[in-house]
C-alpha cells in the first residue's frame, strides 16, 4: 500500500488508477474552470491565528449536524457516478462513513441504488434529490428514501440545466456516451479497474427499472438529460417539504436572498455550494460567499459549505467563518478511486487529524470554540487586542 499522508496523495493515485474519462469527470469544472480553482485558492488565502501557552489537552473534533452526532463536522457530499471510480463505490463509501462516524449522502445518479446501500449499512444515510420534470418520479424517489430509513433529504438546487465541462465533451462523457479510441486504449491500460468494474453494478441504480425506455446506460443518460427542469421554483421546494417529514437540506445556495427564502420554506440546513465549480463558471468561491449568508440567516438554520475542501485546515477555516458543518465531494472521489473503501477511510482519518492538530496549534479544544478569532487578521484584529487585554495582569507579573 502506498504511503498516503494527504488528500493530494489520494488524488495523484486516483489519476493513475481510474480511466481518464471518469477521473476527468471528477477533476474538472465548467468553461474556464475559474470557479473550480478559486474554491481552493480562497481557502489558501485565509490564514489561521496561532496561539500558544493554552491548555489544549483533551481535544475533541466531535460535533453535530442537524442533530446527528458526528466524529467531526464533515459529511460526504452526494457525488454522481461514484461507482465508476471503484466498483460499488457508493456502498464502500457509505460503509467507511458509517464506521468513522460521519454522514454519507447518496446521489440520485449513483451507480448503486438506495436499496443497495441500505442493505449494506446499518446507520441511516442521507439521500440527495435532483428535482426532475417528472414530479411523479420525484415523489417515488422520496418514498423509496423513506422506506430505506434515510435520515435526511438533500435537494440540489443549482442543476436546472447542465453546465458545460470541456473535458467531459472531449472524453465522450456526453449523452449518449461517445466511445473513442483514446478511451478504449486508456481502459486497456487500467486492468485493475476493468476487473473490478466487471464485478460491480453497471448502470444508474436509482433509475434502472423505474423509467421508460430501457435500463442501459445510454437510455438512462438520455432520460436524465431531458429531466433537468429549468422551471424549478421555490413552490416546488415547498411541495417537497410537505412530502418529506424528516430533515431537509437545501444545497446550492450562493446568495443571502436565496438563503432567506430557504429558511422560509422550512430547510433544516443549507449548503453554500457552487456545485464544485461545475455549473456557473465565474461565480464566487463558496468560502467567499459564506460569511454574508451566515449573517443573513443567523441561527435560524444550520449553514454548511462545500467546494475546495482538501484538508482539515480547510474545515477549520470554514467553521471559523460561521459554517456549522462541511461536505466533501472531490476528496471522497479521489480517495475512492485511489483505494476503494480503504481510501475513503484514510481520507477521513487525514481530515480529522489535520483538524485536530490545527485546533491544538490555534488554542482550541472543542469545535464550538472555533470562530473568527481563529483567523489571522493582522494588527487590525480587535479580537486579538481584547484577548491580550484580558491577560494584562499575568503579563505584568511576568515582568
Residues that are catalytic = 275
Q: Quick one: which H or E segment has residue 13?
A: helix 7-17
- Provide the grid cell at 146: 423513506
CA neighbor of 286 nearest in space, from 315, 311, 318, 257: 318
Task: For 67-115, give the secondary structure using H, E and C.
Answer: CEEECCCEEECCCCCHHHCCCCHHHHHHHHHHHHCCCEEECCCCCCCHH
Give the single-character DSSP code of 253: E
Q: Is the peptide bond between 292 and the residue preceding it cis, with omega within 30 degrees of 0?
A: no
Task: Give CA–CA dist 39/286, Å, rounded.
Answer: 6
**Which region, left, alpha or beta, applies to residue 209 given φ > 0 means left and ψ of -120 to 50 means alpha?**
left
**Chain centre to alpha carbon of residue 337:** 16
Give the single-character DSSP code of 65: E
Amino acid at each position: 500500500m502506498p504511503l498516503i499522508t494527504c488528500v493530494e496523495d489520494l488524488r495523484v493515485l486516483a489519476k493513475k488508477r481510474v480511466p481518464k474519462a471518469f477521473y476527468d469527470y471528477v477533476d474538472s469544472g465548467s468553461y474556464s474552470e475559474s470557479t473550480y480553482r478559486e474554491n481552493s485558492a480562497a481557502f489558501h488565502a485565509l490564514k489561521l491565528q496561532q496561539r500558544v501557552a493554552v491548555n489544549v489537552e483533551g481535544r475533541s473534533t466531535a460535533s453535530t449536524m442537524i442533530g446527528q452526532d458526528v466524529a467531526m463536522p464533515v459529511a460526504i457530499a452526494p457525488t454522481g457516478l461514484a461507482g465508476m471510480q471503484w466498483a460499488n463505490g457508493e456502498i464502500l463509501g457509505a460503509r467507511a462513513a458509517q464506521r468513522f462516524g460521519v454522514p454519507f449522502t447518496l446521489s440520485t445518479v449513483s451507480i448503486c441504488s438506495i436499496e443497495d446501500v441500505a442493505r449494506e449499512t446499518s446507520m441511516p444515510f442521507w439521500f440527495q434529490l435532483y428535482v426532475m420534470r417528472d414530479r411523479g418520479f420525484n415523489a417515488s424517489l422520496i418514498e423509496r428514501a423513506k422506506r430505506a430509513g434515510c435520515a435526511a433529504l438533500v435537494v440540489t438546487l443549482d442543476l436546472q440545466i447542465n453546465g458545460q465541462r470541456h473535458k467531459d465533451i472531449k472524453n465522450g462523457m456526453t449523452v449518449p456516451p461517445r466511445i473513442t479510441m483514446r478511451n478504449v486504449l486508456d481502459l486497456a491500460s487500467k486492468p485493475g479497474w476493468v476487473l473490478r468494474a466487471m464485478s460491480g453494478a453497471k448502470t444508474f441504480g436509482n433509475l434502472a427499472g423505474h423509467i421508460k425506455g430501457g435500463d442501459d446506460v445510454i437510455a438512462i443518460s438520455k432520460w436524465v438529460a431531458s429531466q433537468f427542469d429549468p422551471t424549478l421554483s421555490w413552490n416546488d421546494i415547498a411541495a417537497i417539504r410537505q412530502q418529506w417529514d424528516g430533515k431537509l437540506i437545501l444545497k446550492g445556495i450562493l446568495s443571502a436572498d436565496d438563503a432567506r427564502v430557504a429558511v422560509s420554506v422550512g430547510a433544516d440546513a443549507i449548503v453554500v455550494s457552487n456545485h464544485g465549480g461545475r455549473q456557473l463558471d465565474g461565480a464566487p468561491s463558496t468560502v467567499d460567499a459564506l460569511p454574508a449568508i451566515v449573517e443573513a440567516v443567523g441561527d435560524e438554520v444550520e449553514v454548511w459549505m462545500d467546494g475546495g475542501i482538501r484538508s482539515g485546515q480547510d474545515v477549520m477555516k470554514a467553521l471559523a467563518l460561521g459554517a456549522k458543518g462541511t461536505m466533501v465531494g472531490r476528496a471522497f472521489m479521489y480517495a475512492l478511486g485511489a483505494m476503494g473503501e480503504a481510501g475513503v477511510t484514510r481520507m477521513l482519518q487525514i481530515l480529522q487529524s489535520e483538524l485536530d492538530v490545527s485546533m491544538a496549534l490555534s488554542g482550541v479544544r472543542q469545535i464550538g470554540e472555533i470562530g473568527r478569532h481563529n483567523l489571522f487578521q493582522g494588527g487590525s484584529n480587535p479580537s486579538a487586542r481584547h484577548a491580550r487585554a484580558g491577560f494584562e495582569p499575568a503579563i505584568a507579573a511576568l515582568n
